Amino acid sequence: MKARLPQGFGGGGAANLQQLARQAQKMQEQMTEITAELETKEYTATAGGDVVKATVTGKMEVKAIEIKPEIIDPDDAEMLSDLVMAAVNEALRLAETDKNERMQEVSGGLNIPGMF
């Protein structure tokens, strides 16, 4: 008894492989476009009730850090450092989440190593 493949599978060989390659190339082009778009975006997060605000780019670079003067306490530099770190980490998390969501839209949930 011979196993049957569903209609549209098998028999195509090279044609199916070419179609798959075209789809992969199109997906790669879309991901490149999205990456370029995301690199121009900015993500902002705050900490400590908005006394520290950090802005990062889609390239994962810190663009700006704003600190309200009333939070600056020369005797407690560690607290200020913690607030800056929290704001920057949250802004980076926002950028990373946005990138992952956009790439998932293009890839249909496929996790292809090296694609993004």
Domains annotated for the chain, with CATH where assigned, are 14-107 (3.30.1310.10)
Q: Residue 111 — left, alpha, or beta (φ > 0 → left; ψ -120 to 50 → alpha)?
A: beta
111 near 31, Cβ under 8 Å? no
Whole-number pLDDT of residue 67: 96
Amino acid letter at 18? Q
Q: Helix, strand, coil % (nearest 5) of the chain?
A: 55, 15, 30
On the question of pLDDT at 81 being above 90, the answer is: yes
Model pLDDT, residue 24:
84
Q: What is the per-residue pLDDT across 11-69, written as a single tens digit (0 to 9) for each?
A: 556 778 888 888 888 888 988 999 999 999 999 999 999 999 999 999 999 999 999 99
pTM for the structure as a whole:
0.71
Please tell me the predicted confidence (pLDDT) of residue 78.
94
Burial of 36 (0-12, 13-18, 19+ CB in 10 A): exposed
Between these two residues, 100 and 110, which has the higher pLDDT value? Answer: 100
pLDDT (0 to 100) of residue 16: 83
Asked whether the predicted pLDDT for residue 8 surpasses 90, the reply is: no
Instruction: Output the CA angle 115-101-17, nearest 5 degrees.
Output: 40
